[in-house]
Amino acid sequence: MDKPIYHIKENSLLAAIAAKKLKAGSVAMVLGKTIHLYGTTKTNFLNDTRWLKHELCHIKQFKENGFGIFIAKYLWESMRKGYYNNKYEIEARAAEEI
């Protein structure tokens, strides 16, 4: 049996903190292979194909870079260019269309 490529954590405290910082009603965020949700259910998230593809792209980014390295690169990009212009967010938004 294949291992799942991701896990989903509903009502995540980390995602709640991110939602507050982003002033968003709902948030999905990835740490490693776990998608942390706040303000949405697992069912609603999985039914939103674009949102799922976006977060799966972040899981791929973690896998390609390694956990610590990706966190460092992501934070550096965000500090330099802001959240929206962060190259990892740009790549994840593009993945929504695939």
Q: What share of the chain is helix, strand, coil (3-state, %, to 5)?
A: 60, 15, 25
Q: Is residue 2, in this structure, part of any structural domain at all?
A: no
Q: Is residue 34, in this structure, part of any structural domain at all?
A: yes
Query: What three-state secondary structure class fits 51?
Result: helix
Q: Is residue 46, in this structure, part of any structural domain at all?
A: yes
Q: Is the pLDDT of residue 74 over 80?
A: yes
- For the segment 39-63, what is each residue's pLDDT rounded down to a tens digit? 999 999 999 999 999 999 999 999 9
Q: Is residue 1, in this structure, part of any structural domain at all?
A: no
Which pLDDT score is estimated for 38? Answer: 98
Query: Are 41 and 55 contacting, i.e. CB atoms less than 8 angstroms apart?
Result: no
- How many domains does the chain fold into? 1
pTM above 0.85, yes or no: yes
